[in-house]
Amino acid sequence: MTRREFQAAMGHNLGRLIFRLKCMSHFDDTRLPEDRLMAVFCAAAQPVETSALETGVTLLIGPAGSGRAERLLSAARASSDWVFFHHAGLGGDAQDPTIFLWRLLAALKRRCGFRDPLPFEPEVMREALPNWLARAAAMGSVAIVLADAENLSRNGLEPDLDWLPEHLPPRVNVALSTRPGPAAELLRERVTREQEHAPAQEIAQVRQRIRALMDETPTRQVLEWLWAARDGLSLASLNELCDPDPRAALQALADFVRGDGERWILASALVREVAASRALADHGQRQRLHLELALHQAGLGVPDSALLALWHLAAGGQYEQVIEQLASADWLAAMTGSAYRFDALRYWRRLGDRQRVLNELRQVAGSELPAKALLGLVRLAVSFSGESPPREWLEQGLTQAIVAGDEPLQASFLEHLGTHADTSSEDRLKLLGEAWQIRRARHEPGDPALTAVLHLLAVHHEEAQDLESAVATYREGIKAIEQRAGADSAELIPWLNNLAGVYKARGELKEADGLLRRALKLAREQLGARHPTTASCCDQLAGVHYMSAQYETAEELYRETLEITEAAFGPDHAATAACLNNLGTVVDARQRYAEAETLYRRALQIRLGLHGEHHSDTASSLHNLATALEAAGKGEEAEQLFRRALDAWDQVSGQDSPAFATTLLGLADLLRDRGAWADAEPLYRSDIEIWRQLVGPSHPHTLTAICSLARLYSEGGKPEMAEPLLQHVIESAAEVVGKTDTLYMEAVALLAALLRDSGRKPEAGALLESALSAHAAQLGMLSAPAQKLRRLLDSLDSDQPRIH
């Protein structure tokens, strides 16, 4: 259908357009048409003499069309290593906060080489932004410029600043511009400083000049088409759409349009407002422009023309056809690309409730779709719902891919099936192994597609408790990355950390320590000392040192983690609370209880503010603070906090959870130490029963609770009840955790003291000598618990005070 045929068919009616949009390869998997819009503006913007941006959030207030955007852009370019620019008044969907957030995250990903997948949900995007900004700032100064911030709005009534983090990392500055009025008052609540901007000429005169140009047919046509276009128009498109030739009109409009030599856009929100009020007040005329542009874009057959055609169909009110296009095989196949999928999800969400969209997608899946379209449908559904797709979609897609002989698609479906929640452990290994074989035959070692499958295999081995295979798979991935990217590549960091986690689970802390040291060295050298990944590496290495009782170095690393994290995310962030909590544990272990109390209280305050009382993080902080207070002799407050923690765990995870049982044991120990034996005994018995139900009768957690009950009986004058419990713990612990474990040695110490006090010193001595002999044979040195046993053995033949 030609343009004249289109016009004849439309007449005075907004009839239904019938054509099929053919998706072509996207010019960039993360860029949207709005990126082109901003690129044209930035390329055409003339430098303005102005001061550099200052730290924090700057607000520039001035009339629309007064050059505010150019001034902020010049200031940002003068002060920052990298500038992200967004103009919410330039048209298209630039006023949509989700478009702004996607553009910002995608730009950060391209700039910094992040391997994280781009999130699709607005809430998840907002949650990701602080971390991504902190990582980017560690690599250089960043400026975010948002022009016409009053137009960035979800409801069209007030500006949206939900995206702006409460805390900006060092070297991240934000600059906003707005016109005077209510929006400026709302924006003032979030800014560090504000400036007034006077226009170079009276805005009323500017409006008058635009209106005069709107009275001329050639200039009016150009203004109307550019007003309707999502990302501007090329000169070739304007030539086809306008009559006469638009070049003279573009020259006459030089003050009100911007071009980069290939593409033209309207220069400001003011130009758009005047054009709309002067010639496009009729909604029907706007629809006609959008529908004709939809036809024009559909006929271009270049990358992104289908994306633009679909947008114009939606803007022209043809929403039924938009959904039909989105459900076609071509469009579903395009959903494997991130930007197409993001844009499509915005249309699907307009259908209404979540279940309706899922029902529509299920109906689409029931039709005969080729393999690539099914893969696109799978990714679309996962991005929309965050849940695994129906398994039959994956099986259907795999069958289609096999029939078509498309091995890359086969591997993709095998990977999805291999990680699906309904796939058995045995089948997962088989499916992922098949995907690995396909990828290995097609890719060089270290290729991201290949290492991605290796990672899935390693995770599967971990979940199946096949730690030996997990180690081998992680090592294979590390070797492949070293071959492709070198031994000093930052890509190795997550692999080294994951492999260290497996060794830690196996109790091989020395191996874990070496891997984590290498990861931390790479993070500091490749990413920088202030990078959040460096903080994460410090934290993981500190955890291994804490487990190894190397408290001094653990404390140093935890302090470094806190310093980096607090600078990056602020004093009231959840990550800061986690760092305070971890530092508190090592300070607590070093018996500096007053300092531990301070750290725990601050962590608790942050978590209460973020989550409230009934949250797992808050419950953990309540428990930890209670333990520190107990050690400091503040038993009454500690008891209150233990009981608050129990109430929180009851609400969060229930009374049959490991967290509830752990806190219950802490409260029972406190009551025992305060002499409230009658109150403590039923708590111990309840705790033992919970652990038995959760992990079985011989698990270390169950044995620890039994040992604590035995201590209660021993201290409470009931040795006859304590002795059989301790015998059971000693025998079981020797088999389950070994004779060098703290649990085993604690039970030995308790039973030896009980035997000594009942006049059975020879039995006590034999028990202690056996335990010490086993400990020395395995470790060759005396640990702190073993030294306690040695002192207890020495006391059997001396007048030294008894050691409990």
3-state secondary structure 717-750: CCHHHHHHHHHHHHHHHHHHCCCCCHHHHHHHHH
Residues 789, 745 contacting (CB under 8 angstroms): yes
Answer yes or no: is pLDDT of 594 > 50.
yes
Residue 248 tokens read as: 């003279």
Decide the pairing of beta strands 257-259 and 263-266: antiparallel
State percent of the chain over pLDDT 70.
Answer: 94
- Give the tens place of pLDDT for each residue, 727-751: 999 999 999 988 888 899 899 999 9
pLDDT at 291 over 80: yes
12 or 225: which leads in pLDDT: 225
Mean pLDDT, residues 8-13: 41
User: For residue 392, with 0-12 CB atoms within 10 Å meaning exposed, 13-18 middle and 19 or more buried, which class applies?
Assistant: exposed
Instruction: Give the pLDDT score at 12.
Output: 35
Residue 13 has pLDDT above 50, yes or no: no
Burial string for 66-99 (b: 16+ CB within 10 Å, else e) reads bbbbbbbbbbbbbbbebbbbbbbbbbbbbbbbbb
Whether 476 has a pLDDT exceeding 50, the answer reads yes
Phi, psi of 281 (to 5 degrees): -65, -25
**Residue 374 has which token pair?**
């099914």
Instruction: Decide if 108 contacts 131 (C-beta within 8 A).
Output: no
5-9, 478-482, 752-756: segment of lowest average pLDDT: 5-9
Q: How far apart are CA 386 and CA 354, in angstroms?
A: 12
**How many whole angstroms separate alpha carbon 387 and alpha carbon 420?**
10
Task: Say yes or no to pLDDT of 156 above 90.
Answer: no
Q: What span, in angstroms and rounded, lies between the C-alpha atoms of 123 and 163?
A: 9
pLDDT value for 200:
58
608-619 confidence digits (pLDDT tens): 999 999 999 999
Peptide linkage before 117 cis (omega within 30 of 0): no
Query: Quick one: average pLDDT of 451-469?
Result: 95
Beta bridge partners of 176: 59, 146
Tens-digit pLDDT profile for residues 384-416: 998 999 999 999 999 999 999 999 999 999 999
| Confidence check: pLDDT of 778 > 70 | no
Residue 91's pLDDT band (cuts 50, 70, 90): very high
Q: What is the pLDDT of residue 160?
A: 94
Residue type, position 169, single letter: P
Query: CA-CA distance, 352 to 612, in Å (whole number)?
Result: 31
- SS3 category, 318: coil
* pLDDT tens digits, one per residue of 650-685: 999 999 999 999 999 999 999 999 999 999 999 999
Residue 537 has pLDDT above 80, yes or no: yes
Read off the tokens for 353.
């409730």
Task: Quote the tokens at residue 640.
Answer: 């209150």
Dump pLDDT digits (tens) for 312-367: 999 999 988 999 999 999 899 999 999 999 999 999 998 888 888 999 999 999 88
Task: Choose among 66, 208, 77, 256: nearest CA to 148.
Answer: 66
Average pLDDT over all residues of the chain = 91
**Phi, psi dihedrals of residue 344, rounded to the nearest 5°:** -65, -40
How much is the average pLDDT of 705-724? 94
pLDDT number for residue 66: 79
Identify which of 198, 215, 131 has the alpha carbon closest to the alpha carbon of residue 168.
131
pLDDT digits (tens, 9 = 90+) for 179-235: 999 999 999 999 988 888 766 567 888 899 999 999 999 999 999 999 999 999 999
pLDDT bin (cut points 50, 70, 90) of residue 10 is very low
Cα–Cα distances in Å, from 170 out to 57, 557, 570, 575? 12, 21, 10, 16
Please indicate, yes or no, whether the overall pTM of this predicted structure exceeds 0.75: yes
What pLDDT score was predicted for residue 281? 75
Per-residue pLDDT, averaged over 69-85, amounts to 95
What CA–CA distance (Å, rounded) separates 445 from 370? Answer: 30
Q: State the Cα–Cα distance between residues 701 and 684, nearest whole angstrom.
A: 12
The pLDDT score that the predictor gives to residue 4 is 45
Q: What is the mean pLDDT of residues 468-482?
A: 96
SS3 692: helix
Residue 354: the pLDDT is 85
Instruction: State how far the alpha carbon of 744 is from the alpha carbons of 707, 729, 739, 775, in Å.
Output: 10, 7, 6, 11
| pLDDT per residue as tens digits for the range 338-353 | 999 999 999 999 888 8
Confidence label for 20 from pLDDT (cuts 50, 70 and 90): low
pLDDT at 2: 45
Higher pLDDT, 459 or 201: 459
- The mean pLDDT value for 232-244 works out to 94
Rounded to whole angstroms, how far apart are CA atoms 159 and 481?
Answer: 45
Q: What is the pLDDT of residue 94?
A: 97
Instruction: For residues 54 and 42, give the distance between their C-alpha atoms in angstroms, rounded to a whole number.
Output: 21
Highest mean pLDDT among 8-22, 313-327, 778-792: 313-327
**What is the structure's pLDDT at 24?**
59
Q: Judge whether 257 and 264 are in contact, CB under 8 Å.
A: yes
SS3 state of residue 571: coil
Is residue 25 over pLDDT 70?
no
Q: How sure is the predictor about 8, in pLDDT bands with cuts at 50, 70 and 90? A: very low
Q: Residue 176: in which H helix or E strand, if any?
A: strand 172-178
pLDDT of res. 54: 84
DSSP code for 523: I
Burial of 154: CB neighbours in 10 Å, binned 0-12, 13-18, 19+: middle
Joined together, the tokens standing for residue 790 give 């040695």
Sequence-distant (≥ 6) Cβ neighbours of residue 629 within 8 angstroms: 597, 635, 637, 638, 641
